[in-house]
Chains A and B, each alone.
Chain A
Amino acid sequence: MALARLFGNGQQETNDPYGAPGSGNSTYISVVTIVVILLGWWLATELELVRALFLPSPGLVFSKFLKIACYDHYMEAFLVFLGAQAEVVAECEGFSENPLHMHILWSLYRVFSSFLLAVVTAIPIGIAMGMNRVARGVFDPPIEFYRPIPPLAYLPLTIIWFGIGDFGKIFLIYLACFAPLAISARAGVRSCSIEQIHAAYSMGASRHQVLWHVVLKAALPEILTGMRIAIAFGWTTLVAAEMVAAKAGIGVMVLNAARFLATDIVFLGIVVIGLIAFFFDVLMRKVERLLVPWKGKA
């Protein structure tokens, strides 16, 4: 019965055999999928089907997580802080000379500063492209040209131009975020109906007021979708950006671990990036529901 509820298709659940295909809730199925993947991973390592070098066990990855995050160190420090009669003996080893949270903070700093820089530049440019044929003519060729090029291809160029400091890294991620933001803002400007524009004019709106009160508001849902896509592009570019001369960062951690064949840390880095990106997307969806509740309904 429970299994039938899980895997029976949504149409049967809603008693609607001729409804739209693919309707129904899929949350339980996703939970089962995740459990099966974790179970398969654990089983494969437990039965030693694959060598730990290729596939470290979940337990190993978790213990590496505790070690790199300096769990013991901070736990002892926390107890001392609470007033326990003890000393902090456990050392904070971390990895690549930094504990996990420093890697995470560096990567967050790089991704989000690039993203914010892209938001404040790409969205106005995209809006200008949607509203003005000169702006469209100017910005369309460069954006469409560089957009499909993989960031790894122009990584050497950013190093030659900006050196090995943080600016080059941020610039690389910035470029990855820029195109989807500009394109979505441009498309968003077009999503407003001619009736909405005409109505504003016949209520005495100036051109400026139409742009501000009608066109920009109508563009908001597409812009927010663009932001979700852009931040995901930012994360996919992170490892490439941290390839050269970075001291800390999740990408650095993964690349250094690969050099030492520390597969468990590679796994850890991947999981951390995935989780951060996932939770940010959840947050953005909440923001969407708050800011543009009319999306898809009007």
Chain B
Amino acid sequence: MTAILSLKDLGMVFASTTGGAGVTALEGVNLEFQPEEFVVALGASGCGKTTLLNVMAGFLQPTSGAILLHDSPITGPGRDRGVVFQKHALYPWLNVIENTAFGLKLQGVSAAERNATAEANLDLVGLSEFKSHPIYQLSGGMQQRVGLARALTTNPEILLMDEPLGALDAFTRETMQELILRVWSKTKKVVFFITHSVEEALFMATRLIVMSPRPGRITHEYDLDFCRRFFELGDARKIKADPDFIKMREEVLSIIYGEEIQE
């Protein structure tokens, strides 16, 4: 199988503003994204997860190594990689469907065509009846669903999600996890998903990468199938209470805490 996106020995050093040694945010990151993968990055604050996502999105240029999309290097942000942010990324001067169709409007797609695409994606996240609502009247969970629909509307190959559920309450968060998984299984996009929550990471990932800080690097990788079991069983609680799941959860937690204790 050919990788859609590959990161080769990627490194990122932020120059120090005071003239001392720079901060190594990423070091020796190797990662390949195969079609239809759901890759989750998990790690404590400062482990370079968001830097990694920003490099993949093209907002930052790596200081060493290479990042290739279908064998051509990434030089900046582009439509082939859709991004969902934690918050503050929607445009309050546009309503729900205008936000969703924004990317197509930039391309000069006709209003009828872009609204049809936007509406299909709003339908996918269950928001089509709110299409004319202003953004600021929606709840946090609904705003994140607009963010997801918006990222899908430009039809990217990869969805980059930077803690998209981090600002939501625990109940909304669980519903949103299932919604994102369903959208993923329908659209077959490659997903790169960042989270702080071990349970969320295990539940959603087909591949889990655990990162550790100073310097930010990948320390562990797991292939997982809890999300596939969720599609068979349809009951998220049952999977999260499964002994396999709990065992895995404790293992990952001990890795993360183990690293913290070493410091």
- A interface residues (Cβ-Cβ under 8 A, vs B): 193, 195-196, 198-206, 209, 213-214, 217-218, 220, 292-294, 297-298
- CB of A233 to closest CB in B, whole Å: 27
Q: In the assembly, what is the distance between CA of A256 and CA of B103, in Å?
A: 61
The residue in chain A whose Cβ has the minimal distance to the Cβ of B156 is A202
The answer to whether A200 touches B106, judged by C-beta atoms less than 8 angstroms apart, is: yes
The chain B residue sitting closest to A196, CB to CB, is B89
Known: A202-B82, A294-B136. A196 touches B106 (CB 8 A): no
A204 near B88 with CB under 8 A, answer: no
Is the CB–CB distance between B89 and A199 below 8 Å?
A: yes
Does B93 reach chain A (CB closer than 8 Å)?
yes
Are A195 and B103 closer than 8 Å at their CB atoms?
no
Let me know if A198 and B89 touch, CB within 8 A.
yes
Contacts A203-B103, A204-B78 given; does A294 touch B92 at CB 8 Å? yes
Query: Which of A198, A201, A209, A298 is within 8 Å of B92, CB to CB?
Result: A298
* Choice from B83, B92, B134 contacting A202 with Cβ under 8 Å: B83
> Would A199 and B59 be within 8 Å (CB), given that A204-B78, A204-B103, A294-B92 are in contact?
no
Asked whether A297 and B77 contact (CB < 8 A) given A198-B59, A199-B83, A205-B106, the answer is: no
> What's the Cα separation between A294 and B93 when bound, in Å?
7
Contact yes or no, B91 A217, CB < 8 A: yes
Give the contact-size bracket for chain B.
Answer: 20 to 34
* Residues in chain B near residue A193, CB distance under 8 A: 88-89
Closest chain-A Cβ to B86's Cβ sits at a distance in Å of 8
Q: Would B154 and A297 count as touching, CB distance under 8 A?
A: no
Q: A203 CA to B89 CA in the complex, in Å? A: 12
Q: Which residues of chain B come closer than 8 Å to A294, judged between CB atoms?
A: 92-93, 134-136
Q: How near does chain B come to A288, taking the closest CB pair, in angstroms?
A: 13
- B154 contact set on A, CB distance < 8 A: 203-204
Closest Cβ–Cβ distance, residue B168 to chain A (whole Å) = 16
Q: Is the CB of A298 within 8 A of B107?
A: no
The distance in angstroms between the C-alpha atoms of A213 and B101, with both chains bound, is: 13
Q: Are A202 and B77 in contact (CB under 8 A)?
A: yes
Whole-angstrom CA separation of A203 from B252 in the bound complex: 35
| Alpha-carbon distance A209/B91, docked complex (angstroms) | 14
Query: Bound complex: CA of A201 vs CA of B54, how far in Å?
Result: 12
Let me know if B79 is at the binding interface, CB within 8 A. yes
A292 to chain B, nearest CB (A): 7
- Other CB < 8 Å A-B pairs besides A202-B77, A202-B81, 14 of them? A193-B89, A198-B57, A201-B77, A202-B57, A202-B58, A202-B79, A203-B103, A203-B150, A204-B78, A204-B79, A213-B106, A294-B92, A298-B90, A298-B92
Docked Cα-Cα span, A205 to B102, in Å, equals: 10
C-alpha spacing A204/B59, complex, angstroms: 12
Give 6 closest A-B pairs by Cβ, nearest first: A203-B103, A294-B92, A298-B92, A195-B89, A204-B79, A201-B77
Instruction: Indicate whether B184 reaches chain A with its CB closer than 8 angstroms.
Output: no
Docked CA distance A261–B85 (Å): 67
Could you tell me the distance in whole angstroms from the C-beta of A298 to the nearest C-beta in chain B? 4
**Pick from A203, A218, A220: contact of B106, CB under 8 Å:** A203
**Are B91 and A204 interface neighbours, CB within 8 A?**
no
Contacts of A214 in B (CB 8 A): 91
- Residue B182 is within 8 A (CB to CB) of chain A in the complex: no
Residue of A nearest to B81 (CB): A202
Contact between B136 and A298 (Cβ–Cβ < 8 Å)?
A: yes
Cα of A206 to Cα of B78 in the assembled complex, Å:
10
11 sample A-B contacts, Cβ–Cβ < 8 Å, listed by A number? A196-B91, A198-B57, A199-B83, A203-B82, A203-B150, A214-B91, A217-B91, A294-B92, A294-B134, A294-B136, A298-B90
Does B240 have its Cβ within 8 Å of any Cβ on chain A?
no
Cα(A202)–Cα(B57), bound, Å = 7
B228 touches A (CB below 8 Å): no
B124-156 near A? 1/0 per residue, CB < 8 Å: 000000000011100000000001001100100
Given A198-B83, A294-B136, A298-B135, A204 contacting B107 (CB threshold 8 A): yes
- Determine whether B173 belongs to the interface, using a CB cutoff of 8 Å to chain A: no
How many whole Å from A85's CB to the nearest CB in chain B? 60
B87 close to A (CB within 8 Å): yes
- Chain A neighbourhood of B136, CB < 8 A: 294, 297-298
Kindly list chain A residues whose C-beta atoms are within 8 Å of the C-beta of B91: 196, 214, 217-218
**Alpha-carbon distance A196/B83, docked complex (angstroms):** 11
**Cα–Cα distance between A195 and B134 once the two chains are bound (Å):** 19
Least CB separation from A205: chain B residue: B106
Which residue of the partner chain A has the closest CB to B82? Answer: A202
Within 8 Å CB of A293, what residues of B? 134
